Amino acid sequence: LLGIRADTRTISNFLYSIKDLWKGVLNSVLEKYIEEGVEAQNLSEEKIEEKIKVLEEVIYQKLIHRNFGTLFSGLKYYDPAYQDENDGHFITYKKDEADFLAVDEKGDFVVIEIKVLGDDRALAQIQRYMGWVKVNLCKEGQNVRGIIISENDDARLQYALKVAKDIEFKKMRLDIQIGKL
């Protein structure tokens, strides 16, 4: 399990940054629908839930980016300057964004994908990123592997992972502690 531990100041700064993030993302979602001629009150509950999941992934992305070295010892960003500025994201085929692209101690690539709900669609997504890395970045002898990280998974993903070479699933748990640790 991934654990995030921080002092009171760090937690306070994080909570304030989320406040702005929530406002910004939700406002941009509502603006998009208004631009498309859809009244905000007509958003279905399903669409709102979908947008909230996207927002949760953005928050997880930022948290993991801030703690990348601690959470993934032995990995470093493929392009640190670019990825540090972009919360770990790395652009692949036609502006697709892999959540994290790293290199391990052997020089092999590691694609990491964060999901609120890990399902078999996450597997297809990470395989697309891995394929792009294999074709465009790997040199002879280099390999690429993937890690899907999620709070939850489902049976479809677990069945698909049984035959998905070089991809593993890791469960994530957000753990905030306040006080003396």
pLDDT in tens, 98-147: 999 999 999 999 999 998 888 889 999 999 999 999 999 999 999 999 99
Handedness of CA 58, 55, 126, 4 (dihedral sign): positive
| Sequence-separated (6 or more) residues with CB below 8 Å from residue 33 | 39, 40, 43
Q: What is the mean pLDDT of residues 6-15?
A: 59
pLDDT at 2 over 50: no
H-helix or E-strand spanning residue 22:
helix 8-35
More confident residue, 138 or 7: 138
Of the pLDDT bands very low, low, confident and very high (cuts 50, 70, 90), residue 8 is low
pLDDT of amino acid 1: 37
Residue 78 per-residue DSSP state: S
What pLDDT does 112 receive?
96
49 pLDDT band, cuts 50/70/90, is confident
The reported pTM is: 0.71
Inter-residue contact 31 to 94 (CB < 8 Å): no
Q: Which residues neighbour 176 within 8 Å (Cβ) at sequence distance 6 or greater?
A: 4, 6, 11
DSSP 107: S
Q: pLDDT band for position 28 (50/70/90)?
A: low
> What's the pLDDT band for 9 if we cut at 50, 70, 90?
low
Does the structure show a pLDDT above 70 at 45?
yes
